[in-house]
Amino acid sequence: MMKLHDRKPDIENLYKVFRREAPARPTLFELFLNRPLYERLAGRELVDGGPDFAVRNQRLMIDAFAAAGYDYATTHASEMGFNAEPRNRKDTISLNEGFVITDEASYEAYVWPEPENCDYSRLDDAEKYLPDGMKLMVMGPGGVLENAISLTGYDNLCYMIYENHDLAKAIFDNVGRRLVKYYEIAAPYPAVGFIMSNDDWGFKNQTFLSPEHMREFVLPWHKKIVDVAHARNMPVTLHSCGNLDCVMDDVIDYCGFDAKHSFEDVILPVEDAYEKWGGRIAILGGIDVDFVIKRPDSDITERSRAMLKRAEGRGGYALGTGNSVPEYVPQDKYFAMIKAALEY
């Protein structure tokens, strides 16, 4: 296992961030890393098959997150997912490929996943080898809007909302209800420390749907997901890419999310997001992925240190990238970022 620090995991640091308090030490947050980085941090390779591959890989990811200095590790609670046709994946993906529901007939023919029929035993297994002080962050199999778009195609969904409103509503409700149940099943496991509602909502300039349609179709289900967590006194964070300015009051005041993740400099730099919303919701990550890729290591470390300094004493911030750490992010650039927290 890679040795980067001497700190021990302590989920209370992250809980303080969620409460918009100052943690005892600089705290890291990331949605996910990538396979080569997990393997380098953990000192062994992920496996691609076998009867216990999900459990073995989850254990490796826990070791990797611990080695990098996180107080939690990311996981999916089960293999539940909404089946759609494969999309052509290159540097980006199309929101208009892979759809399977276009009308009432295809809606009736679609086989919906049932969360109750999935295997959540990995959450029990994780409890056996989580380091003391460390918990799991359970993320979903995509979110309410993401899955609705995957099932219908983005352009089709926009037309459907106006031309077949009831069908659009039924699709959102079927997705939302199952995601709520997924989190209801996962939240009681002792290894679970908090949940992530991960659902990309927007473009660079606006949300995918109008604010009114976001409030009708999407936000009520996220409020129910938040309620699942808060009923167990558990924090819950939103990961959503895009410009959410028009619905951030809803995110904070209606849904009740404890934290927001995913920020881009081209939309709103994390420094500005912290000043704008940090008194009302915790701000996670935000060191723009493009910045991390393109800038010298010294600039990455300096910006990360400055962001930690900005939040020092005020609280409500954890350091990380603006989105995640895909494979095309040079590993040394990632280490230059987390260095600011580990050596603060």
Q: What is the pLDDT of residues 183-231, one digit of tens each?
A: 999 999 999 999 999 999 999 999 999 999 999 999 999 999 999 999 9
pLDDT band at 24 (very low <50, low <70, confident <90, very high): very high
Mean pLDDT of 130-148: 97
- 3-state DSSP helix/strand/coil percent for the chain, to nearest 5? 45, 10, 40
Closest Cα partner for 134 from 189, 76, 72, 187? Answer: 72
One-letter amino acid of 197: S
- Stated as kind and residue range, the H or E segment containing 82 is none
What's the pLDDT score for residue 85? 62
Residue 43: its H or E element: none
For 261-292, write each residue's pLDDT tens digit.
Answer: 999 999 999 999 999 999 999 999 999 999 99
- DSSP 3-state of 142: coil
pLDDT band with cut points at 50, 70 and 90 for residue 92: low
Which secondary-structure segment (H or E) carries 195?
strand 192-198
How far apart CA 136 and CA 320 sit, in angstroms, is 17
State CA 218 to chain mean position distance: 17
Chain length of the chain: 344
How many percent of the chain have pLDDT more than 90?
88
How buried is 10 (Cβ within 10 angstroms: 0-12 exposed, 13-18 middle, 19+ buried)? middle
Provide the pLDDT for residue 46: 86
Show the tokens assigned to 11. 């989920």
Question: Which residue has 């962050």 as its token pair?
Answer: 137
Residues 6+ apart with CB under 8 A from 108: none
Q: How many CB atoms within 10 Å of residue 108?
A: 8
Q: How far is CA 341 from CA 69, 309, 336, in A?
A: 9, 10, 10
Strands 135-139 and 192-198: parallel
pLDDT at residue 87 greater than cutoff 80: no
**In the 8-state DSSP scheme, what is residue 41?**
H
Mean pLDDT computed over every residue of the chain: 94
Interatomic CA distance for residues 59 and 11, integer angstroms: 18
Residue 185: CB partners within 8 Å, gap ≥ 6? 77, 78, 115, 116, 120
pLDDT at 244: 98
- The pLDDT score that the predictor gives to residue 97 is 62
In tens, the pLDDT along 50-85 reads 666 666 788 999 999 999 999 999 999 999 999 876
Residue 288 carries which DSSP code? -
Structure tokens at 266: 């081209």
* pLDDT at residue 339 greater than cutoff 80: yes
